[in-house]
Copies of this chain bind each other. A is one copy, B any other.
Amino acid sequence: MSSGDAAAQVRPGSVQAEIRQSVPFRTPAEEAGVTLMRTSSVLSRAMARVVEPEGISVAQYNVLRILRGAGKNGMPTLSIRERMIEEGASITRLLDKLEEAGYVRRERCRPDRRQVIGYLTDEGRALLERLDPMVGEAGEAAMGVLSAAEVTTLVSLLDRIRCGLRGDD
């Protein structure tokens, strides 16, 4: 509307083309935001297709990975939450499901009885090891179109965006 000509050039492969949006984005920042969220959504679904055959969601997979990273000392519930991709309060239910499925064990902590420590079970570890190669492949498939230097650049740009959002928060 403001720029006059509606049918301006549309970069092929761009979100604007993908979304068939007739009105271009108002600002580059806006385009970047939408592109970022859409790309994340597509990637997330690709990951889901990999892990769901094993009966877990991407969020659950994430929790299992975090617990594997924690090692045999386990990790308290809220620490797990901090490390998740999504920051939700749904961590309790997620752990409920994982415990029910036998991939996770939970125990009240001794010195501080408020805490509940989660541990990865052997089944959980086995599941992760079964998924590792496929998840790795999916990641490589997604990022494979970029060179190593470009992946580094991407990560660095995203890190800076998050830092900015945090400080602003």
Interface of A toward B, CB cutoff 8 Å: 11, 13-15, 18-23, 26-47, 66, 68-71, 79, 82-83, 85-87, 132, 135-136, 139-146, 148, 150-155, 157-166, 168-169
Contacts and interface: CB of A to CB of B under 8 A. Distances in A.
Of A26, A82, A162, most buried by chain B (CB within 10 Å of CB) is A162
Contacts of A15: 155, 158-159, 162
Copies in the complex: 2
Given A69-B22, A140-B27, A169-B46, A157 B154 contact: yes
Contacts of A47: 33
Main secondary structure of the interface of A (DSSP, over half): helix
Given A13-B160, A18-B162, A141-B165, A148 B28 contact: yes
B29 A40 contact: no
A36 B46 contact: no
A140 to B, nearest CB: 5
Contact of A153 (B157, B161, B166): B157
A164 B151 contact: no
A161 B145 contact: yes
Given A39-B36, A46-B169, A153-B153, A14 B143 contact: no
